[in-house]
A and B are shown apart, each in its own frame.
Chain A
Amino acid sequence: RKEVEQDPGPFNVPEGATVAFNCTYSNSASQSFFWYRQDCRKEPKLLMSVYSSGNEDGRFTAQLNRASQYISLLIRDSKLSDSATYLCVVRDNTGKLIFGQGTTLQVKP
């Protein structure tokens, strides 16, 4: 079983749609959680951290459920520029970041 699992997609949605990605992790000792964004043929960049109480950054909302070992990312009012691969990332108890395979989002006009 992979340490961090994501549905690879692709998710094809129209502009303005709301889309949600989910992620599960296997190590219950994981310390911190993040979503990174990676554009085609580019490097990953931090999108947002994920806090236990849930957090929001503009159109993006992240949630964490430690009991179920589940992380989610919600994108509201999606834009063409949101098209990318979204990587679920977990920091384990040794300090290393473990990346999921990524979920690809394609927003259509």
Chain B
Amino acid sequence: DAGVIQSPRHEVTEMGQEVTLRCKPISGHNSLFWYRQTMMRGLELLIYFNNNVPIDDSGMPEDRFSAKMPNASFSTLKIQPSEPRDSAVYFCASSLVRQVASYEQYFGPGTRLTVT
């Protein structure tokens, strides 16, 4: 299995530009999660989808951030316009939710975003 695939792996952009991060979850998984990791705040959940439907986007920092999941094998996280404080590592994770009790999330390698 290829695991969770994210692209690009690194992105350097100027303030004000639009940034699109992409994620392909593990085939057969029904839940997808977007996280942001910084030294100051650690790993924070931004949004998650179940069966392609957004379930909880309370972690999305502001309207500049949006996420979509048009089908079971693809999701995007968009930042428009980007700001220097958005610089972070963005992880996508997927899981197969079989039971409510517990499940494992598999993380992609992350996208390291730098906004100058």
A interface, CB within 8 angstroms of B: 31-32, 34, 42-46, 49, 87, 91, 94-102
Across the interface, do A100 and B42 meet the contact criterion of CB distance under 8 Å? yes
- B101 at interface by CB-CB < 8 Å: yes
Q: Which residue of A lies closest to B6 (CB)?
A: A43
CB < 8 Å: which of A32, A91, A95, A101 contacts B42? A101
Q: How far is the CA of A46 from the CA of B110 in the complex (A)?
A: 16
In the complex, A32 Cα to B43 Cα: how many Å?
A: 18
- Count of residues in B whose CB is under 8 Å from the partner chain: 18
- Tell yes or no: B100 within 8 A of A by CB: yes
| Chain B hits for A100, CB < 8 A | 42
Known: A94-B56, A96-B48, A96-B56. A44 touches B43 (CB 8 A): yes
Minimal Cβ-Cβ distance residue in B for A43: B107
6 chain-A/chain-B pairs, Cβ below 8 angstroms: A31-B102, A43-B109, A44-B43, A45-B107, A87-B43, A100-B42
Report the minimum CB–CB distance from A107 to chain B (whole Å).
Answer: 22
Do residues B102 and A91 form an inter-chain contact, with CB atoms below 8 A?
yes
Contact A102 B107 (CB under 8 A): no
Instruction: For the complex, give the distance between the alpha carbons of A59 and B48 in Å.
Output: 34
Whether the Cβ atoms of A97 and B102 lie closer than 8 Å is: no
The answer to the question of B91 belonging to the interface, with a C-beta cut-off of 8 Å to chain A, is: yes
B25 contacts A by Cβ under 8 Å = no
Given A34-B102, A101-B42, 5 more A-B residue pairs with CB atoms under 8 Å apart are A43-B91, A43-B108, A49-B102, A94-B56, A98-B45
Q: Which residues in A have their C-beta under 8 angstroms from that of B33?
A: 97
Q: Is the CB of B108 within 8 A of A96?
A: no
A102 touches B102 (CB 8 A): no
Nearest chain A residue, comparing its CB with the CB of B33: A97
* Chain A residues within 8 Å of B100, by CB: 31, 95
Nearest CB of B to A88, in Å:
11
